[in-house]
Copies of this chain bind each other. A is one copy, B any other.
Amino acid sequence: MINSLENNPPHQVVIVGGGFGGLYTAKALAKANVNVTLIDKRNFHLFQPLLYQVATGTLSPADISSPLRSVLSKSKNTKVLLGEVSDIDPEVQQVMVGDEAVPYDTLIIATGAKHSYFGKDNWEKFAPGLKTVEDAIEMRRRIFTAFEAAEQETDPEKRRAWLTFVIVGGGPTGVELAGAIAELAYQTLKEDFRNIDTSETRILLLEGMDRILPPFAPELSQAAEASLKKLGVVVQTKTLVTNIENDIVTLKQGDEVKEIASKTILWAAGVKASPIGKVLAERTGVECDRAGRVIVEPDLSIKKHSNIFVIGDLANFSHQNGKPLPGVAPVAKQEGEYVAGLIQQRLKGNTLPQFAYIDRGSLAMISQNSAVADLGFIKLKGFFAWLFWLLIHIYFLIEFDNKLVVIIQWAWNYITRNRGARLITGQESLPLTVTSDSSYYTATENRQPINV
| Chain A residues in the interface with B (C-beta under 8 A) | 41-44, 60-63, 65, 67, 69-70, 73-74, 79-84, 98-100, 132-134, 137, 144-145, 148-149, 151-152, 189, 191-195, 401-402, 404-405, 408-409, 412, 416, 418, 420-435, 438-440, 442-443, 446-452
Report A125 CB to chain B, min CB distance, Å. Answer: 13
Contact call B420/A401, Cβ cutoff below 8 A: yes
For A84, what are the chain B residues with a Cβ–Cβ distance below 8 Å?
431-433
Contact call B41/A430, Cβ cutoff below 8 A: yes
For A193, what are the chain B residues with a Cβ–Cβ distance below 8 Å?
69
For A424, what are the chain B residues with a Cβ–Cβ distance below 8 Å?
42-44, 82
Q: A60-B63, A412-B404 are in contact. Are A433 and B98 (CB under 8 A)?
A: yes
For A43, what are the chain B residues with a Cβ–Cβ distance below 8 Å?
144, 148, 422-424
Secondary structure class of chain A's binding surface, majority of residues? loop
CA distance A123 to B70 in the complex (A): 34
Contact call A67/B152, Cβ cutoff below 8 A: no
Contact call B434/A70, Cβ cutoff below 8 A: no
Of chain B, the residue at the smallest CB distance from A425 is B133
CA distance A421 to B70 in the complex (A): 11
Partner of A402, one of B191, B416, B433: B416
For A433, what are the chain B residues with a Cβ–Cβ distance below 8 Å?
83-84, 98, 451-452
Partner of A426, one of B134, B152, B439, B440: B134
Q: A41-B432, A428-B450 are in contact. List 18 more A-B contacts (CB 8 A).
A: A43-B144, A43-B422, A43-B423, A70-B418, A74-B191, A82-B148, A83-B433, A84-B432, A133-B423, A133-B425, A145-B452, A401-B420, A428-B452, A431-B449, A438-B451, A439-B452, A443-B451, A443-B452
For A412, what are the chain B residues with a Cβ–Cβ distance below 8 Å?
402, 404-405
Contact call A152/B81, Cβ cutoff below 8 A: yes
Contact call A427/B450, Cβ cutoff below 8 A: yes
For A194, what are the chain B residues with a Cβ–Cβ distance below 8 Å?
79
For A443, what are the chain B residues with a Cβ–Cβ distance below 8 Å?
450-452
CA distance A44 to B430 in the complex (A): 13
Contact call A423/B134, Cβ cutoff below 8 A: no
**Which residue, of A69, A151, A424, A452, has the highest number of chain B Cβ atoms within 10 A?**
A452
Of chain B, the residue at the smallest CB distance from A192 is B69
For A420, what are the chain B residues with a Cβ–Cβ distance below 8 Å?
62, 401-402, 405
Q: A65-B423, A425-B61 are in contact. Are A448 and B450 (CB under 8 A)?
A: no
CA distance A73 to B61 in the complex (A): 26
Report A7 CB to chain B, min CB distance, Å. Answer: 24
Q: A438-B452, A448-B446, A450-B428 are in contact. Are A423 and B70 (CB under 8 A)?
A: no
Q: List 6 A-B contacts (CB under 8 A).
A: A62-B422, A62-B423, A73-B192, A429-B452, A439-B452, A446-B450
CA distance A133 to B62 in the complex (A): 14
Q: A60-B63, A402-B412, A422-B67 are in contact. Are A434 and B452 (CB under 8 A)?
A: yes
Of chain B, the residue at the smallest CB distance from A448 is B446
List of 7 A-B pairs having minimum Cβ-Cβ separation, nearest first: A62-B421, A60-B60, A69-B192, A79-B194, A73-B191, A430-B449, A82-B148
Of chain B, the residue at the smallest CB distance from A190 is B73
CA distance A79 to B442 in the complex (A): 29
CA distance A451 to B217 in the complex (A): 45
Q: A84-B432, A426-B134 are in contact. Are A405 and B402 (CB under 8 A)?
A: no
Q: A148-B82, A412-B404 are in contact. Are A423 and B191 (CB under 8 A)?
A: no
For A195, what are the chain B residues with a Cβ–Cβ distance below 8 Å?
79
CA distance A91 to B412 in the complex (A): 48
CA distance A133 to B140 in the complex (A): 15
CA distance A100 to B430 in the complex (A): 18
